[in-house]
Amino acid sequence: MVTEAASRPPHDLPGLDPRFSRVTAVPGSGLDAGLTRDWHYLDTGDELARLGVPVAGTILAVHGNPTWSYYWRELLTQSVQAAEAEAGAGDGSGATAPAWRIIAVDQLDMGFSERTGIHRPLAQRVADLTAFTDALSLDGPVISLGHDWGGVVSLGWAVDHPEQLSGVMLLNTAVHHETGKPIPAPLRLARARGMLAASTVRTPAFLETTLALTSEPLDPTVKDAYRAPYRTAARRGGIGGFVADIPVDAQHESYNELDRIATAVAKIDLPALMLWGPRDPIFSDYYLDDLIERLPHANVHRFERAGHLVAEDVPYAESVLTWLGDNAASLANPGSASPSPREALAAASASADADDSSFVPLWRNLDERADDTTTAVIDMSTRGQRGPQQVSWRQLSDRVSQIAAGLTAIGVTKGQRVSLLVPPGPTLTAVVYACLRIGAIIVVADAGLGVKGLTRAVRGSWPDFIIGEAPGLTAARTLGWPGVRISTAKLPKVSAATLGVSYSLRDLITLGADTPLPAEPRSGDDAAILFTSGSTGPAKGVVYRHGQLSALRDVLARHFDVTADTGLVTGFAPFALLGPALGTRSVTPAMDVSSPRTLTARAVAAAVEASGGSMVFLSPASILNVVATAGDLTAHDRSELERVRTFLSTGAPIGAELLASAATIMPNATPHSPYGMTECLLVTDITLDGIRAAAGGAHTGVCVGKPIGENRIRISALDSDGAATGTPSTEPVVLGEIIVSAPHLKDHYDRLWLTDRAAARETAVDTDDVDAPTAPDVPSARWHRTGDVGHLDELGRLWVEGRLPHVIVTATGPIAPVGAEQDVEGVAAVRRAAVVGVGPHKLRQAVAVVETISPTRKPGLADPELTAAIRASTTLPLVAVLAVPQLPTDIRHNSKIDRTRLSEWAERLLAGGKPTAP
């Protein structure tokens, strides 16, 4: 390798302020003992001094391979800007809040630091960094920050300086690689004999490949800036050195050092932040999962669309500054947090345990009715050829215990994640209760997410085990989903091998025959992660603790008066699964459970007859078909349906007419239409009579009734910018974001720290709020911003008026679309309507887009008569009325119109664009 002195980067690199650039001589250590090495680094210290801003401490940022300190430019710039704003605002008005000095090094042989000509294994690099901070006489608190292999080096420094360290921040990195597991393919290729020097040093291939690992191509000038210190083969020696230093096995010279660091990291009890780009062929979710195990208290945010160079893909600097602000006190005084982050994590689960006395786990009925031979679950669905399957309480209880023991026998432990790719039915029910019983966290994704969404959900939650049927396991195999694979049915050896299936459920039962069950999980332990479709962006994993699931069961039982004799008829999975927990029979009617539209009225009647059920759950899509097939009902069917007392529409609110027509086939049932979301499955409830009573008044939107049980609702008013900034309140007729609190509210989002933060943002209620909890830390004080907008009326009923992103911010203020849509749908010729905005923010104009009863052939302006009728139907000024053959419907929300897409389409058309279909 070649030697070369340190130098300075060019002055005109995009986004890099050359004032931050420094070169300093550092007395070497280890291999460099007795030598002096010149380091190039970026430093905001002088700039903070010039601004007169006090310094809280230092963030020591270490780049990876093959980047350089340029990677951190945005953080340097933004932190100085924030300090400048703070200094400006602080003029004469008291003390200025301290800022963090950022020092971003170029590691030796990298960036513009000295080319040493010496191979530098990991232990040397960790020693180098210490030599550097010693030379700078760096004192005060230090937060380590690293990306890629810089993450390892920064953590090496971190564990070696426990007295100074006050926190750790990591972007796509790894500290541990399981022995025997192959390293990621791109690195294998780069390391192959003969390839190493060629790909990393002689040609810029490795550098170029890395620069292509962003979700959007990097700006060419930025790419060039990354190339700047690596123009010649002589200057790229360090890149090859780093790749050669990846410890592929225990014999590697850096293995022990990596192991030392990995072990010590697991003891760090300081604030930690991980920002991750999962689209990384090298540092995949596998390594994130490993790091979370070592730092379980870390704030973790996975940016679904970001890649390896996460800092180039997402606004990471804002996230870092936010996190510094959130943790300011404890970061400024290393280790001062009381309780410590790890203690706080334990306390959070324990505080949820505090009401353990009243906690009745979901599986309690299975224990108590272990000898009960009456029927617990009936599956009449059309999947099997064997006809209806009946499972008694005793059989279910036995099966749950057997599977629980089997899972334990193969090493499934409390806190591990088990992804369930099993359709609703007795098998799913047994597996769910078995996992819950042993404290394994079930990961349940709605099949409606599609393959792409499912892959995201499964990879994002990184399950340790996957239980599925052949189709699910095939997907797991071909799409490279993680986890040990378990098949529900015994597969032929060849298929099992092909699918990489390790066990069948039958194997588990055999293996677990002598395995005792572990201690029961407690109410504060995580129980489930549910993925359902979001109306914006990728699906989010919603984490529930055991206590919250039990609370859901209890609120359902209390509000709808469910007893052992009730009997549930449902094709809707979440509630079907609650049957055993509620202690009552549940039956899945004859239908294809993955397609609600296949449910007929006769199948409902047969299910009621078979189960003696008096409570029926139907999704909006299945209600349509049940109503359509009501003519086939026999007199006998009708008399069976007379025993139904309660009927629930579970899904998006449906109109009174549809609800009423479903009610005619269940003449003694009270129809209900509850409102909820994945994060809080039951928020409010309204009956058909309630809907009718609410109709015709002055309120706009969909009336979804009053909060159920102890649930509470507040409205955070929208400001003129359309942002929900209002103090949460119960004041009627104020349009704002709907905020909910409930005992069965989700605990948090999985690995989405920023989303969690936003959902719980400023949910503190008014101090004179009569319902405000006296103790802010009681579990029921958890609030959630739903992203829905609406208002409360004088009677405390909630009216939903759409989604926050669909609010139209006009020059006169924000307008929610649903009210005007209802007006427009009142026009005789209109089948469905969406009201969307066009034009710039705060100057949006409302446009109605309609599907007409006699469908139009081409999308375009509605004819003048219809336009006039629609304009007259609503008080909202409509700049245009467009008619389309079909409104685009959000695939993730069967019945919901994709207003975002529609708005973009209308914007193009009304700017004079070609009349295409929306």
Partner 1 sequence: MIVLVTGASGFLGRAVAAEAVAAGHDVRTLQRRPSGVDGVTDFLGSITDPENVATAMEGVEGVIHLAAKVSLAGDPHAFHAVNVEGTQLVLAAAEAAGVSRFVQVSSPSVAHAGSALAGVGAEPASPEHARSEYARTKAQAELLALASDSDRMRVVAIRPHLVWGPGDTQLVGRIVDRARRGRLPLLNGGTALIDTTYVDNAASGILAALHRADVAHGKAYVLTNGEPRPVADILAGICLASGVQPPRWSVPAAVGRTAGSLVERVWAVRPGVDEPPMTRFLAEQLSTAHWFDQRDIREALDWSPAVSIDEGLRRLARHER
- Residues forming contacts to partner 1 in the complex (CB under 8 A) are 811, 838-840, 843, 845, 860-861, 864, 867, 877, 879-880, 882, 907, 909-915
Closest by CA to 712, choosing from 755, 743, 687, is 743
Alpha carbon distances (Å) from 669 to 335, 607, 613, 635, 648 = 60, 16, 12, 17, 10
Beta strands in 602-679 (DSSP E): 615-618, 646-649, 670-672, 675-677
Please compute, for residue 756, the number of CA atoms within 13 A of its CA located in the half-sphere on the CB side: 19
Rounded CA gap, 174 and 851, in Å? 53
Find the shortest distance in angstroms from Cβ 911 to partner 1. 4
Pairing type for strands 830-838 and 484-487 reads: unpaired
Rounded CA gap, 461 and 162, in Å? 31
Rounded CA gap, 570 and 577, in Å? 9
Pairing type for strands 484-487 and 465-468 reads: parallel
Cβ pair 333, 141 in contact under 8 A: yes
Q: What's the chain's Rg over C-alpha atoms?
A: 30
Handedness of CA 186, 192, 198, 200 (dihedral sign): positive
Rounded CA gap, 855 and 801, in Å? 27
Rounded CA gap, 350 and 267, in Å? 21
Residue type, 613: G
Cβ pair 42, 104 in contact under 8 A: yes
Phi and psi at 306, nearest 5°, equal: -85, 155
Q: How far apart are the first and last CA of the chain?
A: 60
Rounded CA gap, 240 and 204, in Å? 10
Closest by CA to 673, choosing from 696, 697, 692, is 692
Rounded CA gap, 443 and 456, in Å? 12
The DSSP result for 879-905, as a single string, is: EEEEE-SS--B-TTSTT-B-HHHHHHH
Find the shortest distance in angstroms from Cβ 838 to partner 1. 7
Residue type, 562: V
Rounded CA gap, 88 and 96, in Å? 9
Please compute, for residue 642, the number of CA atoms within 13 A of its CA located in the half-sphere on the CB side: 6
Closest by CA to 574, choosing from 689, 686, 438, 677, is 677
- 505-508, long-range: CB within 8 Å, 24+ apart, which pairs? 505/403, 505/406, 505/427, 505/431, 505/467, 507/406, 508/402, 508/403, 508/405, 508/406, 508/407, 508/409, 508/410
Give kind and range of the element (H or E) at residue 58: strand 55-62
| Cα-to-chain-centroid distance, residue 231 | 41
What six digits make up the tokens of 720? 């003129």
Q: Scanning the structure block, which residue is given the tokens 């010729």?
A: 829
Q: Scanning the structure block, which residue is given the tokens 């945005």?
A: 74
CB neighbourhood size of 560 (10 A):
20
CB neighbourhood size of 497 (10 A):
10
The DSSP result for 99-152, as a single string, is: EEEEEEEPPTTSTTS-B--S---HHHHHHHHHHHHHHTT--S-EEEEEETHHHH
Rounded CA gap, 811 and 899, in Å? 20
Handedness of CA 734, 735, 736, 738 (dihedral sign): positive
Rounded CA gap, 883 and 863, in Å? 9
